[in-house]
Amino acid sequence: MSNSSTFPDWHGTTILAVRKGGKTVVAGDGQVSMGQTIVKGTARKVRKLAGGRVIAGFAGSTADAFTLIERLEAKLEQYPEQLARACVDLAKDWRTDRYLRRLEAMLIVADQDQIFTVTGVGDVLEPEHGVAAIGSGGNYALAAARALIDTDLDAETVARRAMAIAAEICVYTNGELTVEVV
């Protein structure tokens, strides 16, 4: 996993997905960094797809992520109501297509029932415990959400609190959140 062309150094975002109580929440911070400089604080890295039934959040290169999200939307049209199949097909294309293989981004894709992390090396991972995270602050948000998931808090509150903790620790993550719920 140390191949820098496949797994770039993810400086610039935190995306967190939490599924609890029949709801799935995907939250992303708004910070965009170039090196040690913050160039934007209110970017939207979380989007609703498939008529609002699917949420996708991305970490990595914005242009690359938009390309992947467009491809994911096409897969969702091809395989309606089959999120896992759409993600697997996207990951297969991403790994084998000469152009896509160079894209430097990661996705979290979720609907009401499932959460997947999709990578350019062909991974489509469904997390245990109903929590997944990517990006430079992903491990902080993941740990915080895992600690909060068994409390009385709802999914959105868990996500917001976990993202706040990540923003306090990771210099590439801020508290300007985009939060989408399905």
Which residues are catalytic, by number? 13
Nearest to 92 by CA among 117, 116, 118: 118
Exposed, middle or buried by CB within 10 Å (0-12, 13-18, 19+), for 44?
A: exposed
Dihedral angle, C-alpha 83, 85, 90, 96, nearest 10 °: 170
